[in-house]
Amino acid sequence: MNKLLNFGIYCWSWIATFGVFIVVGLLLFYLLSQGLPTIGKELFFGDAPVWEAIFGQVRVWDALWPACVGTVFLVLLAALLALPLGISSGIYLACFAPKTFKRILSLLVELLAGTPSIVMGLFGFALILFLRNTFLPDANTSLLLAAACLALLILPYLIFTTQSALESLSDEYRLIGPSLGFNQMQTVFHVLIPAAGRSILSGVVLSIGRAAEDTAVIMLTGVIANAGLPQGLLGKFEALPFRIFYLTAEYRTPDELGSAHGTALVLLCLTGILYSSAFALHKTLEYRWNQHR
């Protein structure tokens, strides 16, 4: 009986592993086989001439370009808002915070990290309702609002990665500063942060990837299907993940379906590049570390 159970567990571990392998393989194969043929000028620019479309002189219809630009703007803006706050919070928590204070603050940040993204979106939506009722009667959902809500979403990731990058440095690094007569601030800024730089950067790239893929937040805060290129901070915009969602729900022609497959492949490649470069940054740091040992 016992033997049978063991054999069952053994088989299960193989089945589970290869089952998941096959599912992910199927997913990638499906996207590649359906998406690759659609990649081309039409997917990105539709009927519009390429150069005019890139510089925004011609409106691009039913194509990817406005969504690409929208996603890039959105992600950069979100990073711009979240980076200073996230990195300085990470530094403070890792190097300066007194113990009990640190525990309370990190618990709150953990709670923020666990909040579902749709709740962040709802918060942005509530903010607009609030502004409409009070100061700005014509406030509306926009690129800036979406970026701010996305910034809330990636803020905890930034804080955690910065904090753990600094905390995982070895004690030798920690002693360099005091041995040279640095004070805590000088140690942090001239020794620890440069040493942990790559890890912190990898965290930044990771959170950018996270911002690029999220759909739920922007759905409630200003993304629409046919906005064209984003018209300033207070305008509506398009984004890649939302375009996939929209086309999946509402495609009418085989062309649009093909375009959806292409979009999914493009988004997958984008996040794939971001995640693997974050991974590579982290790995090279570990490698450099092990060399110095």
Partner 1 sequence: MTQQNRNKNRNQKRKRINRPLSWTSKYVEVLLKYATIFSALIVLVLFGFLAYFTLPLFAEGQFAELFSLHWRPFHGEFGILPMIAGTLVLAISALLIAYPLALGICLFIHGLGPRWLTRPILLLVHGMTGIPTVVYGFVAVFLLVPFLRNNFSHGSGFSLLAASLTLSILILPTIVLLINTQLEHIVPALRLTTTALGITRIHELTRVSLPAASYGLLSAAILGFGRAVGDTLIALMVAGNAAQIPERAFDSIRTLTAHIALVVATDSQSTTYHSLFACGVILFLTTTSVNLLLHHIKQRACREGNHE
Contacts (CB under 8 A) with partner 1, residues 23-62: 23-24, 26-27, 30-31, 34
Residue with smaller CB distance to partner 1, 72 or 125: 125
DSSP state of 58: S
Q: How far is the CB of 48 from partner 1 (least distance, A)?
A: 25
By CB under 8 A, is residue 130 in contact with partner 1?
A: yes
Residues within window 236-255 making contact with partner 1, judged by CB under 8 A? 241, 244-245, 248-249
Q: How many CA atoms lie within 13 A of 291 on its CB side?
A: 6
Residue with smaller CB distance to partner 1, 138 or 232: 138
Residue 223 forms beta bridges with which residues? Answer: 237
Measured CA to CA in angstroms, residue 229 lies from 49, 66, 213, 269 at distances of: 15, 5, 19, 22
Judged by CB under 8 A, how many residues of this single chain contact partner 1? 89
Residue with smaller CB distance to partner 1, 48 or 247: 247
Residue with smaller CB distance to partner 1, 18 or 61: 18
Measured CA to CA in angstroms, residue 115 lies from 108, 130, 148 at distances of: 11, 21, 15
What is the total residue count of the chain?
A: 293
Q: How far apart are CA 82 and CA 84, in angstroms?
A: 6
Which among 48-56, 73-81, 196-204, 210-218 is the span making contact with partner 1, rule CB under 8 A? 210-218
Q: How far is the CB of 85 from partner 1 (least distance, A)?
A: 5
Q: Is 228 left (phi over 0), alpha (psi -120 to 50) or beta?
A: left
Q: Which of 219, 227, 229, 285 touches partner 1 by CB under 8 A?
A: 219
Residue with smaller CB distance to partner 1, 46 or 121: 121
CA angle 56, 209, 278 (to 5 degrees): 125
> Which residue from 111, 119, 123 is spatially nearest to 160, judged by alpha carbons?
111
Q: Which of 36, 80, 108, 225 touches partner 1 by CB under 8 A?
A: 108
By CB under 8 A, is residue 1 in contact with partner 1?
A: no
Return all residues near 90 (Cβ < 8 A) that are at least 6 apart.
Answer: 158, 159, 160, 161, 162, 163, 165, 166, 200
Residues within window 63-92 making contact with partner 1, judged by CB under 8 A? 84-86, 88-89, 91-92
Residue with smaller CB distance to partner 1, 24 or 76: 24
By CB under 8 A, is residue 194 in contact with partner 1?
A: no
Q: Which of 76, 129, 180, 225 touches partner 1 by CB under 8 A?
A: 129
Residue ranges in 1-98 assigned as alpha helix (H) = 2-35, 41-45, 50-54, 65-91
Tokens of 184: 């805590």
Residue with smaller CB distance to partner 1, 39 or 127: 127
